[in-house]
A = this chain, B = another copy of it.
Amino acid sequence: MSMIETAAVEGGGSLHQRILSDISEKILSGVWVPGFRIPFEHELTAEYNCSRMTVNKALSQLAKAGLIERRRRSGSFVRQPQSQAAVLEIHDIRIEVEALGLAYRYERVTRQKRRSSAEDRGLLELGAAGQVLALECRHFAGKRPFAHEQRLINLAAVAEAAEEEFLDIAPGPWLIGRVPWSEAEHRIRAVAADRHIAEALDIATGAPCLVVERRTWSAEYPVTQVRFTYAAESHTLVARFRPSQG
């Protein structure tokens, strides 16, 4: 088991975190099935040789996360799984634009290779410093700007990106062709356009925009972080799915 995976599962070296992840592990792996009464606090206290407060902290968090249900006098029970994962497709803007029957055009605005700043590392969830490539691009639908793209690429994961100018091909399609992703996270929200975005998208400052941020990992290594900003009128995200088995 790799360091990164361990960190992702266990979260930290503290004891209550270990208790928490041990129990999560048992529940998520199915060893403790829904309805099962997990050990009492005083039993876990004995098992881990620690105080009840420490056990309580772990169990409270599990209850908050919805994995267990706590009942006074009765104990704590594994809950029925209740959430369905939705799959949002990794979208290709060219395809979206062409689906609208408009001509697609891509423009690279800026490109900078640099040593990762603290902010870069935060965005990429990168542990150590290293080279990154920062890109700013625009995507047009017909004559109008359709989306603004700000992207960071972790050069430690994708070294060959350092040689690419991205003048003729957008980083999204370029990356998809080269780096298989194993995990992605989307954050979607509405914002008011700041000056920079307003100019890039040719809309009024303060106009509502849809922001889609995505981080992608490949085999536990952060690959890229990207923020797409769309003018409100120009875009609707569609996610259609069926519940998975569970």
Contacts and interface: CB of A to CB of B under 8 A. Distances in A.
A49 interface: no
B186 A210 contact: no
Contacts of A206: 206
A118 interface: no
Given A89-B84, A191-B208, A240 B185 contact: yes
Contacts of A90: 82-84
A3 interface: no
Interface in A185-235: 185-192, 206-211, 230, 232, 235
**Copies of this chain assembled into the complex:** 2
Nearest to A235: B189
B187 A207 contact: no
Interface string A235-246: 111111111100
A87 interface: yes
Contacts of A85: 87, 89, 241
B192 A208 contact: yes
A164 interface: no
A99 B239 CA distance: 24
A22 interface: no
A241 B87 contact: yes
